[in-house]
Chain A
Amino acid sequence: MKEYKYIGKPEIRIDGKEKVSGAAIYTDDINFGPDLLYAFIVESPYAHAMINSIDTSEAEKHPEVLAVVTGKDFPYKFGLYMQDRFIFAQDRVRFIGEQVAAVVARNPKAAKKAAKLVKVDYTEIPAVIDQMEAIKEGSDLLHEDLENYDHVPWFFPKPKTNIAHWRKIRKGETQKGFDEADYILEDTYDVPRYAHCAIEYHAATGLYDKSGRLTIWASSQSPHTQRHLFAEALKPLGFTHKDVRVIAPHVGGGFGSKAGVTMEILAAAIATKVQGHPVRIMWSREQEFYNTYQRLGVKTFLKIGVKKNGRITALDHKIYWDAGAYVEYGANVVNAVGLSAIGPYNIQNASIDSVCVYTNLPPGGAYRGFGYSEFLFGLESHMTRIAKHLGIDTIEIRRVNAIREGDKTAYGANMNPNGLLKAIDAVEKEIEWHKEYKSSDPNKVIGKGFSLLWKAPAMPPNASSSCFLKFNEDASINLLVSGMDIGQGYLTVMAQIAAEVLGVPPSKIRTENPDTDRNPYEWQTVASHITWGSGNAVKKAALNAREQIFDLVVRTKHLPKDSLYLEDEKVKCTQNPNFELPLREFVIAGIQMSDGTFKGGPILGKGTFLPEFSTAKSNPETGQGGHPNVHYTTGAAAMLLEIDKQTGKMKVLKAVEAIDAGKALNPDLVKGQIIGGLVQGLATVLYEDMRYGDKGKLLNPNFTDYKIPTAKDIPEKIVPIIIEVPQPDGPFGARGVGEHTMLPAAPMVANAVADALDVRIKSMPVTAEKIVLAYLEKKNNRMLK
């Protein structure tokens, strides 16, 4: 293993001082002065209704109101993967909270007051809020002209149904595989919707200035993608991409909720109606819950066949997604899971149907894990149940089936190098799996839970990254990139990559949040791909700068190029130990020759990265033939769960998670991801519980009724373990870990409950109430026998 100077070291976060001192600026912290206007959105009270008329006359009369806009002002569609959404509702609303109109006023109170004066006349039509109802023959349709929607070529909508996309995988001979099985387990699992709960709201301020420039400041994971979608949607107004600018300050948590475009497009559109004035929109906590992306709900039907030794012979996974009213982003979650729902296993015969279903609930979208948490709940519960039935150790059955490098994925590509088996070993050892655990309290039992995890970045095959790197007079560096540090430490790690290549300490490198006018293109900060993709671009930019430096030294000092290297902010030479040329002497000013002239000039590095081997082209009926996923990150986790038999109350005594990061560029940040992600995952299974009324209204859109963990609700002990099996095409071997950390939490809890009390909970969340009821039922049945 090469010894690096800055890579693999726990470098201090470069945004640390800003964030602990109050200096960090988030979107709503920017001061726009006394001319700032405020927009308040009029939302649909119905899950499904036709809009007969909108009367804005009363609102317009309000003395402090400058503008009232409706769908008539913006008959424009947008959508990242599927163009099924209008900026404002046109003739129909499809979920409670959908934007129908907006009122712009001098102050927020006036805007809110005047919004109440907008009169919308609706005719309610039947709503479908359950995906299994929505796919039935004759169900009311949400999108009657689905066949006319533009979408990416790898989506397969079914016109005249509520099915927006259907991803099929047919690998090997599934029926034959089941025929060969000694044991088949078939069951269904339910996972409800979840909310991201970033502590910062969505916020966006738009300014359409008098020169015709449209600037949007937004809390965003996707500044360039947002600029693209704004420019495309508003093209009829005469905008081109160069006229649109997105500035993304610090982001107070994303988790997928600030990926793509949700409310930000309202700021862009409304700004065009109040030219010259900045206009601000900020969601409330309630709107955060019901009017941004949510995690999709899902019902899975899983059938797995195995031999007596635990070897899987066939898998049939049918996955029905409640994707909400618009699936412009969420349909890609469905697609990603369709490609990967065999889990981290080597399975020769597999059939997967991942079905994206429109419902009259808020649009589903990206959420940390991108659908993998949802199918792993069922799959990893299933694996433990099968092991128990066969009398095989629950870890052993995973070892037997674990996917190895070179094995074929569900779509027929080769699995990348990975440390899955190492992760299994590490977790087994740390949790002391074969030890008997007994509670000192007779009312309590301790269960052990185990789960594997895997995930690939879900992204188009041409998702690209880029970087400009510029030296300053003192050889300090500004890195211009457009990924977002949503907390994971991106800005710091990019600096470490450049530092390692150029021999300049990270403390002398500044990486800033992007402005699409100044910073080069980045697709989005999603898919846990940013360290890998943007990291590759940064490394290439640094190598490009190094090349320029060496060329100049060769040209002026006449040293062989292959003898030069960079260290301690100097150019050094292997052939001449006395040669030392400090970077600060020439990276801007150039090198002076004996005749007084200068050679060189400012050193500017440039790097771009696009995974040129990736393709989404495949047979739509089998999913075979493409290479849609660039690689998978794998890992394993286990826990000790103490349960009170009388109340069902649970306490996590210890949780262990091992993830194969390829190369942990900053181990402290990776550990931070593991702990934070695992707690967020545990929250979805132990605490969070999204409740909808039968009319499609979210009943608990606040932190009082939708519980996320506090400092008192965390496991007594979490042990993060980093595995490093390098990713050949990653920067220094790195691959992403951000989302993966959440994935094993839910099945691990369900498996620990089953281990402790021999009851199997097949729907999330796994609450104390569910456990006690199941346990009592089991006890009563035993007594009746």
Chain B
Amino acid sequence: MKKISINLNGEVRYIYVEPNDVLLDVLRDKLGIKSPKSGCERGDCGACAVLIDGKSVRSCLVLAIEVDGQEITTIEGLSKNGLTPLQESFIEHNAFQCGFCAPGVTISATELLNKNPQPNREEIQEAIAGNLCRCTGYESIIEAIEKIAKK
């Protein structure tokens, strides 16, 4: 067991982790953060994406001890002070159906817009290509992000 600290959604949290504890499990089971989802256990689906120091990372492929001292943002953190324009746009465009992939997609899109506030369609598709969605056919997700990009 090793004690680590992470800045989780703006709050510093201290936890004990095993060397082989996966970040996704630690977030969900030890820290009560339920928005990152497990959908494949091997980095294929992107449902577990979180921002680590601003970068979208699949938390099922990261060990918890690797993020000691780092800053982690999940969608609970993004909507801490009310929904972001991107989240509002997701609602407006029905950019989700079952909603299971929405947290991961939101994380990828947030990273994209932080780096490139005005991406074109192709750049949006590239940015969310690591997030599998079985419901929407992606069109509404792309439109929701495009709307923010045009603002």
**Interface residues, chain A, with chain B CB atoms under 8 Å away:** 12-13, 15-22, 24-26, 28-29, 31, 196-201, 250-255, 284-285, 486-489, 668-669, 672, 675-680, 702-704, 708-712, 714, 718
Contact = CB atoms under 8 A, between A and B. Distances in A.
Given A15-B99, A712-B125, A676 B37 contact: no
Nearest to A710: B129
A362 to B, nearest CB: 19
A254 B136 CA distance: 13
A250 B134 CA distance: 16
B63 to A, nearest CB: 15
Interface string B43-74: 01101000000000000000000000000001
A672 B136 contact: yes
Contacts of B42: 285, 702-704
Given A20-B91, A22-B79, A250 B44 contact: no
A460 B103 CA distance: 38
16 contacts: A17-B83, A20-B90, A20-B91, A20-B99, A25-B34, A199-B100, A199-B101, A253-B135, A285-B41, A285-B44, A487-B99, A489-B94, A668-B94, A672-B136, A710-B129, A710-B132
Contacts of A15: 99
Nearest to B87: A20
B45 A703 contact: yes
A769 to B, nearest CB: 23
Given A20-B90, A21-B75, A21-B87, A26 B37 contact: yes
Interface in B82-127: 83, 87, 90-92, 94, 96-103, 106, 124-126
The 3 closest A-B CB pairs, nearest first, are A252-B100, A487-B97, A19-B99
B7 interface: no
A24 B97 CA distance: 12
A488 B98 CA distance: 7
Contacts of A675: 136-137, 139-140
Given A16-B91, A22-B76, A487-B99, 15 more contacts: A12-B92, A19-B96, A20-B87, A20-B106, A31-B32, A199-B47, A199-B98, A201-B38, A201-B39, A486-B97, A489-B94, A672-B140, A676-B97, A710-B130, A712-B129
B129 A711 contact: yes
Nearest to A253: B98
Contacts of A201: 38-39
Contacts of A24: 99
B141 interface: yes
Q: Which of A668, A677, A679 has the most CB of B within 10 A?
A: A679
Contact of A20 (B28, B34, B83, B97): B83
B34 A29 contact: yes
Contacts of B136: 672, 675-676
Contact of B98 (A487, A709, A714): A487
B141 to A, nearest CB: 7
Contacts of B28: 29
Contacts, number: 153
Counting chain B residues whose Cβ lies within 8 A of the other chain, the interface size class is 35 or more
Contact of A672 (B75, B87, B94, B142): B94
Q: Say whether chain A's binding surface is mostly helix, strand, loop, or mixed.
A: loop
A51 to B, nearest CB: 29
B40 interface: yes
Nearest to A679: B137
Contact of A26 (B32, B83, B100): B100
A198 B133 CA distance: 8
B30 to A, nearest CB: 12
Contacts of A20: 75, 79, 83, 87, 90-91, 96, 99, 102, 106
B12 to A, nearest CB: 20
B78 to A, nearest CB: 8
A252 B99 contact: yes
Given A22-B35, A201-B39, A672-B94, A714 B100 contact: no
B116 to A, nearest CB: 16
A46 to B, nearest CB: 25
A214 to B, nearest CB: 25
A677 B136 CA distance: 8
Nearest to B101: A199
A6 B150 CA distance: 30
Contact of A284 (B37, B41, B97): B41
B128 interface: yes
Q: Which of B34, B87, B106 has the most CB of A within 10 A?
A: B34
Contact of B126 (A284, A712, A718): A712
A199 B74 contact: no
B22 to A, nearest CB: 12
Q: Which of A22, A24, A31, A714 has the most CB of B within 10 A?
A: A22
A25 B99 CA distance: 10
Contact of B135 (A13, A16, A22, A487): A487
A22 B73 CA distance: 12
Nearest to A706: B44
Given A252-B99, A489-B97, A703-B40, A199 B133 contact: yes
A200 B37 CA distance: 8
A346 B126 CA distance: 46
B124 to A, nearest CB: 8
B33 to A, nearest CB: 8
B58 to A, nearest CB: 12
B121 to A, nearest CB: 10
Nearest to B90: A20
Contacts of A251: 98
A366 B137 CA distance: 21
A430 to B, nearest CB: 16
B105 to A, nearest CB: 9
Contact of B40 (A16, A255, A488, A702): A702
B139 A718 contact: yes
A17 B89 CA distance: 11
Contacts of B142: 711
A15 B100 CA distance: 12
Contacts of B76: 21-22
A704 B132 CA distance: 12
Contacts of B138: 679, 709-711, 714
B141 A198 contact: no
Contact of B134 (A29, A31, A680): A680
Q: Which of B44, B75, B124 has the most CB of A within 10 A?
A: B44
A711 B139 CA distance: 8
Nearest to B44: A703
Nearest to A676: B137
Contacts of A718: 137, 139
Nearest to A196: B134
Contacts of A672: 94, 97, 136, 140
A722 B129 CA distance: 29
Given A15-B99, A679-B138, A711-B142, A252 B37 contact: yes
A515 B130 CA distance: 35
B137 A197 contact: no
Contacts of A704: 42, 44
A88 B104 CA distance: 36
B28 to A, nearest CB: 8
A749 to B, nearest CB: 16
